[in-house]
């Protein structure tokens, strides 16, 4: 059974850094129209592994390679294109043979040396510009062994930062609802719990263990808390999970529906949807549950709020125009105007971190639920998917270059990403054991 706008009642390391003294300005890359491949060729050989770190060298290099490939900015130089007779990197980076590397397709080369310090893994990472034989980025990273892949993610982000001016998203995480079956005294039943994973689906960790239905999680801006809806106490109430303490506390336990939480950019307020007044309306309150204020006052149903990056406006969904469409209002509920005019119905808006775009879902008669994007002023609406399936819950990467979303295109609900510049859609790996939905993309980890 579904409420308005397809929202079901269930829904309702330590890191130390040392920059090299090399050039500090990002490299400039000229992109041309047409079929010219403007991606940057980069080589990522297996890392040098010292005593105690032998098991990490190849796997972390592979993680970093996938991170760079995911961006759409790089093309990874294959090992068979390395210099003839290449036997692997030496620990001493000054012994790199740049003359040999210049005869390969690679323009940049990553050199990393790993060691251990107790239960910590330490990585000395360097990015070299092959044509000029110069180190352009250098960082010393360390973390606990169970989070070793974070080292690769973090240096991937720094590589992207140097070459584009904006850090990558490899060190970020996603939170989502995963469905599985459990066995109890009453037999087998399906439950939904909240999970966290690296952006690429690695290091999947179950967050809640309620044995109930917990869905639609939303990361706080600092990534330390998660707002979500759960039936763990029988009714559809909103909770906030604190990752530091592991405790879940109630945010809203009003009569009726409590759903669609949206954090303000400063993390101090949460917008949410309540039906306590016999109609779904948008409210805002402090994250401790105090200071509740009603924003919408209309006989139509209003839902799915999302803050602008400056916190001054919210985009939301309303059927006040007949069919569900996107509307914009100030954070006090004033100055309401319609945004979406592409036809059909519009749902699930998500504002990009750079403030320039809004992702959302469009349903046109007979054409399924597809992911669309528009400029934040409502112009330039265009589809990003054409799967003829059910695509839902878009969420932006921290760099505004990618969108994660849920989709049933393969017959079951799974998580996917689309790269805005290239249009490439990828299924997030390592999650095939879960029926995954409702993703929220978190911030980078330092």
76-116 confidence digits (pLDDT tens) = 999 999 999 999 999 999 999 999 999 999 999 999 999 99
Distance separating alpha carbons of residues 296 and 280, to the nearest angstrom = 9
pLDDT at residue number 26:
39
Q: Which of 139-153, 173-187, 224-238 has the lowest mean pLDDT?
A: 173-187
Decide which of 32 and 62 is more confident.
62
* pTM of the model as a whole: 0.89
412 has pLDDT over 80: yes
pLDDT at residue number 233:
94
**Per-residue pLDDT tens over the stretch 237-250:** 999 999 999 999 99
Tokens found for residue 437: 């939905």
Q: Looking at residues 341-362, what average pLDDT do you find?
A: 97
Domains along the chain? Answer: 40-164 (3.40.50.10070), 172-441 (2.120.10.30)
Q: Looking at residues 6-32, what average pLDDT do you find?
A: 35
CB atoms within 10 A of CB 206: 12
Rounded mean pLDDT of the chain?
A: 90
CB atoms within 10 A of CB 253: 13
Among 150, 127, 130, 172, CA closest to 24:
127
Q: Looking at residues 273-283, what average pLDDT do you find?
A: 93
Contact 125, 84 (CB under 8 A): no
pLDDT category of residue 14 using cuts at 50, 70 and 90: very low
pLDDT category of residue 42 using cuts at 50, 70 and 90: very high
319 has pLDDT over 90: yes
Orientation of helix 149-164 relative to helix 57-71, angle to 10°: 40
Q: Give the bridge partners for 184, in sequence order.
A: 187
pLDDT category of residue 2 using cuts at 50, 70 and 90: very low
pLDDT at residue number 389:
81
Distance separating alpha carbons of residues 359 and 394, to the nearest angstrom = 6
Q: What percent of the chain clears pLDDT 70, i.e. is strictly above it?
A: 92
Q: Looking at residues 155-176, what average pLDDT do you find?
A: 97
pLDDT at residue number 16:
32
pLDDT category of residue 388 using cuts at 50, 70 and 90: confident
What is the chain's percent helix, strand, coil content, to nearest 5?
A: 10, 40, 50
């Amino acid at each position: 059974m579904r409420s308005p706008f397809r929202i079901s009642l269930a829904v309702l390391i330590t890191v130390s850094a040392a920059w090299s003294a090399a050039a500090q300005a990002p490299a400039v890359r000229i992109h041309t129209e047409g079929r010219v491949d403007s991606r940057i060729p980069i080589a990522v050989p297996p890392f040098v592994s010292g005593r105690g770190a032998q098991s990490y060298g190849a796997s972390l290099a592979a993680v970093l390679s996938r991170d760079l490939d995911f961006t759409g900015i790089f093309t990874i130089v294959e090992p068979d294109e390395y210099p003839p007779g290449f036997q692997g990197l030496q620990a001493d980076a000054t012994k790199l043979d740049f003359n040999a590397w210049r005869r390969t397709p690679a323009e940049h080369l990553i050199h990393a040396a790993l060691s251990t310090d107790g239960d910590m893994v330490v990585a000395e990472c360097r990015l070299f510009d092959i044509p000029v034989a110069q180190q352009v980025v250098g960082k010393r990273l360390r973390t606990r062994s169970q989070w070793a892949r974070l080292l690769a993610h973090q240096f991937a982000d720094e590589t992207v930062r140097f070459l584009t001016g904006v850090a990558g998203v490899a060190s970020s995480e996603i939170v989502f609802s995963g469905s599985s079956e459990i066995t109890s005294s009453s037999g087998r039943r399906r439950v939904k719990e909240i999970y966290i994973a690296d952006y690429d689906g690695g290091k999947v960790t179950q967050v809640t263990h309620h044995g109930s239905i917990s869905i639609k999680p939303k990361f706080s801006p600092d990534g330390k808390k998660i707002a979500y809806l759960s039936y763990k106490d029988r009714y559809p109430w909103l909770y906030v999970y604190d990752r530091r303490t592991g405790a879940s506390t109630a945010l809203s336990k009003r009569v009726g529906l409590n759903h669609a939480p949206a954090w303000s950019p400063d993390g101090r307020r949460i917008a949410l949807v309540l039906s306590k007044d016999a109609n779904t309306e948008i409210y805002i309150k402090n994250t401790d549950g105090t200071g509740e204020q009603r924003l919408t006052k209309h006989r139509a149903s209003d839902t799915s709020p999302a803050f602008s990056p400056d916190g001054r406006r919210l985009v939301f969904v309303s059927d006040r125009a007949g069919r569900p469409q996107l509307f914009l209002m100030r954070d006090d509920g004033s100055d309401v105007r319609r945004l979406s005019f592409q036809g059909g119905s519009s749902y699930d808006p998500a504002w990009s971190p750079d403030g320039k775009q809004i992702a959302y879902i469009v349903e046109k008669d007979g054409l399924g639920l597809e992911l669309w994007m528009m400029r934040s002023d409502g112009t330039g609406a265009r589809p990003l998917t054409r799967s003829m399936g059910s695509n839902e819950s878009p969420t932006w990467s921290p760099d505004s270059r990618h969108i994660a979303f849920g989709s049933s295109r393969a017959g079951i609900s799974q998580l996917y990403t689309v790269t805005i510049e290239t249009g490439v859609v990828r299924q997030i790996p390592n999650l095939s054991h879960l029926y995954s939905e409702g993703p929220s993309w978190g911030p980078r980890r330092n």
